[in-house]
Structure 1
Amino acid sequence: MASSSIISLPIVVQSHRSTLSALPKLSASKIPVRQYHAFLLKRAPIFRRPYSLTQFSGVLGLPSTRKYPVPERGLYSICFYNPKEKSKSRFEGKETVLEWPILKRWDVPWQWQTVSLSMFACAISFVLTGLVQAAVTSYLGLQIGELSLDEKAELLFVDQAILTAIVLGVIYGFTSTFQPLPEDLFCYDPKEPFSLRKGWLLWAGVGLAGSLLAITLTGAVMTFFSGETPQRETDALVRLLPLIGSSNISTACLVGITGVLAPMLEETVFRGFLMVSLTKWCPTPISVLLSAALFAIAHLTPGEFPQLFVLGIALGFSYAQTRNLLTPITIHALWNSGVILILTFLQLQGYDIRELLQAS
C-alpha cells in the first residue's frame, strides 16, 4: 500500500535550495536539442494560482511544512525562433519602387547650420587660396610671363593640388565631429566595378553616355529657340590652349588637373557633401537638381550654364544609383581629360584648335 502511493506521486526535481513539481510527461529528456531564442510579445490578463515553493529540510530530505507563497503572476505570450534559419518569405530579395537606390535618401547626421557654414568656408577657402598663391608667387619673384610652358603647367598643377587639399580639409573638418559616419557617406569603393546594381565603372559609362546625349539635345534645343549656336566650354580651354600639346609634361599636368584633382574636389563638395546633405530635407531627385544648379553657377560661366546643369544632373543621378563617389568622379574625369586628349591629338595632327573651338 505504501509503495503504490509512492508510485503515484509526481516526479520531484531537486536543486540545491528548492524543488519544483513536474509531471512525468515533461521529462527533460524529451526537450528538443535545437536552440531557440525567446522574446516577450504580450501580457495576458493576470490570474491567481495557488503555487508555492516547498523547501527540503531535515536529515532525510523530507519536505518541511513551511511554505513560501509565490507572488501574483501574469501570463505572457512568448515567441520562439531560430536566428540561424533564413526567412522563407516570398518577398525576400524583392524591392519596391521606394527602395531603389536612386530614390533613397542618405542618413545625414548634421543639420543645416553645418551645411551652410561648410559651403561658405569652401568658397572663402577658394578665394583666399588664390590670393595667397598670387602673393607667394610675387614674393618669390616668379614672373609668370617669363616661365616656360612646362613650368606654367607644373605651377598650375601645384596650385590645383593645394586648393584641392585645403577645400577637402575644410569639408573633413566640419564633418569629422560626427564620426563615425554612415558607410555610404564619402564612399570611394573600387570593389565590384561592373556590378549591375552598384558597379561604379558600369554606371559611370552609362552616366557618361547619358550626359553626352543630354548635352547634345540641350544644345540643339537652345539653337532651335535662339537661332545661335550655344556657347561651350571655350573660355577655360582658351586659357589652356598654349599648354595643350606643347609637351608630354604639359599634357600630363593638364590631365592631372582636369582628370584627377578637379573631379575629386568638385564631386566631393557638390555631390558627396551638398547633394547628400540636401536629401535630409528634400527628395533625392530634387536634391540632384539643386546641387546641379549650384554646380553650374560655381563655374562662373553663364553661357555654359545649361550644359553644366545637364552634366550635373547626370553626375547626381549616377551617384545616387551607386552611392559611390568613384562614379561621378570617373564621369567628370573622362569628360574633362577626354576633351584635353582630343584637342592634344588634333593639335599634333596640325589642326588649329583655336579656330575649331571658335567654330564650335
Structure 2
Amino acid sequence: MEYFLRGRRGEWRWRSPVGNGAVDALARWQWRRSVAASALLQQCESLHGRGRGTNPGAKGKRDSSVGSGINGSEESGVEWRILRRWEVPWDWQTVSLTSLACVIGFLSTGVMDAIHRFKPDVLSLNVEAVMLLLDIGITTAVILGIIYSVADTFQPLPEDFFKYDLREPFNLQKGWLLWAGVGLVSAFIANVLTRVAVSIFSGGPPKGQTDALVILAPLVGSSNLGTACRLVVSCVLIPLLEETVFRGFLMTSLTKWVPTPVAVVIISSLFALAHLRPAQFPHIFVIGSVLGFSYAQTRNLLTPITIHAFWNLLVIYVTFFSRKLDGNILSLTWM
C-alpha cells in the first residue's frame, strides 16, 4: 500500500491510507524521514552537478565565462592562455637563494671571460673555440643542475613546469613550433621598429653591436671546428641555459605574486640588464618580451628556446656575411 506520493512539482506530499490513528502516526513519521532524506539527496545532487558542470544553471554560467575568454577551458578553443598564472609551489626565499646560487655558479665558471680580459691573444682560434664550448657547457650544466635540484625537492611539480614537449608542434593553442615561428617574425618586426624609434630619439643608429660580438664573431669561418663550436654555443647551449633560467624559473616563479604579463615585463628587463649592454637594452627587452609571451602561450620551453636559437643563428649569418662583404647588410641584436 502506498504511503507517499511525489507531487507534480517534485515535492513530497502526505496521503493517509487509513483512518487508524496508530497506523496513521507511524506512516506520517516514515513520511517525514523520507522527506528529509529526499531533500538532502537533491541538495547533494545539485551541489555535485554544479561542481562538475552538469547542472543546467551552472553549465550556462560556465559557458558564458568561456565565451568571454577569461576562465574558459582549453576545449573551448578561446581561452587566453597567455594570462594564466603558474601554480608555483615555492616561496620567495627559495627563488632568492636559487638565483644567488645561479649567479655564483655563473661567475665561478667564467673561464673564457677572464682569459679574454687579461690575455686576449694567448690562444689560437681553434683552442679558443674548444675552450669556449667547454666553458659554456660547464656553466650550463652547473646552473641547470642547481635549478633542477631545487625543483626536485618540490615534486610532484605541475605539468607545465620545465616542460620540453615535442608533441603537437602545430597545435593552435600550444604548438611550440607554430608559436616559435610567430614569435620569430614578431621579434624581427619588433627589432626593426625599436631600431627606428631609437634612431629617431637618439639622432643616430644604435651602437655597441660590434662589442657584443668581439669574442665570438672571429670564430665563424675561421675553421670548421671554430664554426661548429660557435654554432653549438650560440644556438644550443645559450638558448637552453637562458630560457630555462629566465623564462622557465624566474618568470614562472614571479607569477605567484604578479600577473603573467607583468612578470614577462619584469623578467624581460632583467634579461636585458643581464647582457650588460646598455646601448642594446631596448632591443633585448623587446625580444625578451616576445620570448616571455610565447612561453606563456604554449607553456613549453621549446618555444622560446627555438626562437632564441634561430635568432642567434640569424645574427651569426648576417654578421659573417656582413664582414665578408665589407658592409653592414642588416643590424641585429645578439642575445
**TMscore range, shorter length:** 0.7 to 0.9
Q: So what's the TM-score if we normalise by structure 1?
A: 0.71
- Aligned pairs for 1:109-188 (under 5 A) are 109-130=89-110, 145=121, 147-188=123-164
Whether the 8 Å contact between 1:254 and 1:340 is mirrored in structure 2 is no
Structure 1 position 96, deviation (Å): 3.2
Distance 1:132 1:257, change over 3 A: closer
Letter in 2 for 1:268: T
The CA deviation string for residues 269-326 of structure 1, in whole angstroms up to 9 with x for no partner, is: 0000101011101011100000000001111111111111111101000101101000
Between the aligned partners of 2:260 and 2:102, the Cα distance in structure 1 is: 23
Correspondence for 1:29: none
Q: Does 2:252 correspond to 1:252?
A: no
Matched residues in 2 for 1:165 and 1:332: separation?
A: 19
Residue deviations 1:245-286 (CA, integer Å, cap 9, x gap):
112221111110010000000000000010101110101110
Whether the aligned pair in 2 keeps the contact of 1:245 and 1:345 (CA below 8 Å) is no
Number of residue pairs matched?
290
1:1-360 aligned at under 5 Å gives the runs 50=26, 74-75=36-37, 76-78=40-42, 79=45, 91=63, 94-99=66-71, 100-130=80-110, 145=121, 147-346=123-322, 350-352=324-326
CA–CA separation in structure 2 for the residues paired with 1:105 and 1:311: 21
Report which of the two has the higher share of strand.
1
Show CA shifts across 1:112-160 (max 9, x none): 111111111111111112269969xxxxxxx974543222111101110
Provide closer, same or farther for how the CA distance between residues 93 and 277 of structure 1 changes in structure 2, counting only shifts above 3 A: same
Please tell me whether the aligned partners of residues 154 and 250 of structure 1 are also in contact (alpha carbons under 8 angstroms). yes
Distance of 2:67 and 2:238 partners within structure 1:
36
Alpha carbons of structure 1 residues 224 and 92: separation in structure 2 relative to 1, 3 Å: closer
Distance 2:234 2:113 in 1: 19
With over 3 angstroms needed to count, the CA separation of the structure-2 counterparts of 1:169 and 1:198, relative to structure 1, is same
Cα gap change, 1:147/1:239 in structure 2, threshold over 3 Å: closer, same or farther? closer
What amino acid is the match of 2:295?
Answer: Y
Q: Could you say which structure has the larger radius of gyration?
A: 1
Give the gaps of 5 or more residues in structure 1: 1-9, 11-21, 26-48, 52-68, 136-142
2 CA distance for matches of 1:252 and 1:261? 13
Give the helix-richer structure, 1 or 2. 2
AA aligned opposite 2:99: M
* Paired residue type of 1:258: S
C-alpha separation in 1, matches of 2:311 and 2:65: 36
Matched-pair identity in %: 50
1:37-78 Cα deviation digits (max 9, x unpaired): xxxxxxxxxxxx748xxxxxxxxxxxxxxxxx9xx8843234
Change (3 A) 1:93 1:154: farther
In structure 1, the partner of 2:76 is none
CA displacement at 1:93 relative to structure 2: 11
- For the 8 Å contact 1:149–1:250, the answer to whether it is kept is yes
